[in-house]
Structure 1
Amino acid sequence: MKKLITAFAISTLTVLTVPAFATDIPKPESIAEKMSFKLVRGVTNVVTAIAEIPKQTMLTAQNHGTIGYVVGPIKGVGMTLYRGFIGLTETVFFLVPQPGYYDPMIDPEFVWHGWENPKTELAAQSGEQSIEQGNEWKSGEK
């Protein structure tokens, strides 16, 4: 009986300690790489934040037509300040693994991402309207 209890205790301890060895501790090289990428991303966003003005002007004009040339620069100034602040924050706190695990604090990560946004809102709305109009036409309702 004593051998059975000892064998059970050893097997229980073995089973319970296996998950402790299964945890994946990040290597120092990968941590340093993520920290340096966060620093570079922050400095890049501070320097290139001014490009948000033409970006937002173009995207707003694509989505909303001529009024986008008036609203877009205002939106661009706001996004310039936001991207600059986020870049400054990432630059100052590049050693801190927040948010997530050195993840970007802004989406898109850089100002040159996200220029390919041609009329997404209007295309989706007009697509829904044309489907509804097509269904009404087929059923004879107006």
Structure 2
Amino acid sequence: MKSISKLALVVSLSFLFSSQAIANEEISGDSYLNKAGLKFLSGLVNVATGWVELPKNINLTGQKDTPVSGLTAVTLGVLQGAWYTINRTGCGVVDLVTFMIPTNPLVDPVFVWNDFLRETEFKGYQIN
């Protein structure tokens, strides 16, 4: 009976120390789970918030260096915003479908509210 309790003690201590060693491993920013998770999350968020490109582009068109009247800025902003809304939502769908391929998201900035005063860029797949 004592040998079984000693064996149980040794086995439980070995599990205790082995799990501590695993917990101390660092997860790098380039790990598969981090990239796939970011891509899934950005795809989901971009599908849900792609419409925010519309007011963002109306604002950006009105703030450009070339002076444009109010109605022209709104018209151009609505047209560009509608196009960017379609693009961001479409890129979100593609990112959702292909999240298991650990590439960077197709949109820069990744989320529409990041760097709100900068025009959105749509990229192809870049493995970094």
Q: TM-score of the superposition, structure 1-length normalised?
A: 0.56
2:80 maps to 1:75: yes
Between Structure 1 and Structure 2, whose CA radius of gyration is higher?
Answer: 1
What's 2:51 paired with? 50
Q: Which structure has greater helix proportion?
A: 1
Deviation at 1:61, TM superposition (A): 0.9
Distance, in Å, in 2 between the alignment partners of 1:46 and 1:58 is 21
The letter of the residue matching 1:50 is W
What's 2:61 paired with? 60
Deviation at 1:30, TM superposition (A): 2.1
What's 1:12 paired with? none
Deviation at 1:106, TM superposition (A): 1.4
Matches within 5 A, 1:1-40: 30-40=31-41
Once superposed, which parts of structure 1, at least 4 consecutive aligned residues long, lie more than 4 Å away? none
Deviation at 1:69, TM superposition (A): 1.1
More RCO (CA 8 Å, sep 6+): 2
Residues 79-104 of structure 1: CA deviation (Å, up to 9, x unaligned): 0000000000000000013xxxx212
Contact 1:56 1:73 in 2 (8 A): yes
- State the identity %: 31
Contact 1:49 1:80 in 2 (8 A): yes
Name stretches of at least 5 consecutive residues in structure 1 with no aligned partner.
Answer: 1-25, 118-142
2:90 to 85, 88, 104: 85
